[in-house]
Chains A and B, each alone.
Chain A
């Protein structure tokens, strides 16, 4: 396990090199923006639909391609490490109502926010903790998503 975590650490170091140039594109990531759906920008009904529409939903400052916050970037990089390429990402900087609405909806005062299977999981600190202690691999497995880190470990074991 230490080998894959070592590679994970090396990959995560990229987030120290600034947005844009240092962040790789993920095919399949939907930057869903803030458009679509009924109700106001931050209404509970709309947010409820948003967090339940996809298995993995994140609210960020910026986009997965160009995060505008180190903590939001951490979430993007962790998901990338696990090979989660199909998730909904909403940029709260595009929509002040969304930015406040999601804080009210989850009763959580900061961005980023991570939802798995419609359930609020936490912010960057909690996701990082889950990544480090193996919980994220398990939670993704429950959603039918196989973490890329498992495949790395398998490659390691078979050598």
Chain B
């Protein structure tokens, strides 16, 4: 699928990221990640839920749970615009987004859309965030 090829070319790290790795420690799932998974399962009853802690790729301390990417595949997204789908995900994770979660990349697909391109994308590289303005390397 062309969009899959495009994503791999846009994000050069795509082939090198392990889906299950989180920055909470090798193989460990942190508490925030666990809560995100539970809440999304309850709210959206997904067929597929792929969640990746991407905090390790950002300017935050090791073990952080601040940056996540999620692919949610649910028939509840049928007939909803991308904006409406994302808002559903945000609503389920309102507490986390008001709290520790600083960034959430979302792929919200219907089962048919997922079958066309079943992969969790990779986020673009961090450009330093607000730390750049403080002169921290």
Contacts and interface: CB of A to CB of B under 8 A. Distances in A.
A109 B9 contact: no
A143 to B, nearest CB: 18
Interface of A: 2, 5, 8-10, 12-13, 15-16, 18-19, 61-62, 67-74, 93, 107-110, 120-126, 129-130, 132-133
Nearest to A91: B133
Contact of A129 (B82, B97, B124): B82
A19 B133 CA distance: 13
Q: Interface range on chain B: under 10, 10 to 19, 20 to 34, or 35 or more?
A: 20 to 34
A126 B87 CA distance: 12
Given A2-B2, A18-B127, A68-B129, A121 B107 contact: no
Contacts of A73: 124, 127
Interface stretch (B18-26, B38-46, B98-106): B98-106
A30 B97 CA distance: 30
A93 B6 contact: no
B86 to A, nearest CB: 6
A19 B130 contact: no
Given A15-B125, A19-B127, A5 B2 contact: yes
Give chain A's interface secondary structure class: helix
A68 B97 contact: no
B6 A5 contact: yes
Contacts of B103: 71, 110
Contacts of B10: 9, 12-13, 15
A12 B123 CA distance: 13
A56 to B, nearest CB: 17
B55 to A, nearest CB: 13
Nearest to B10: A12
Nearest to A96: B130
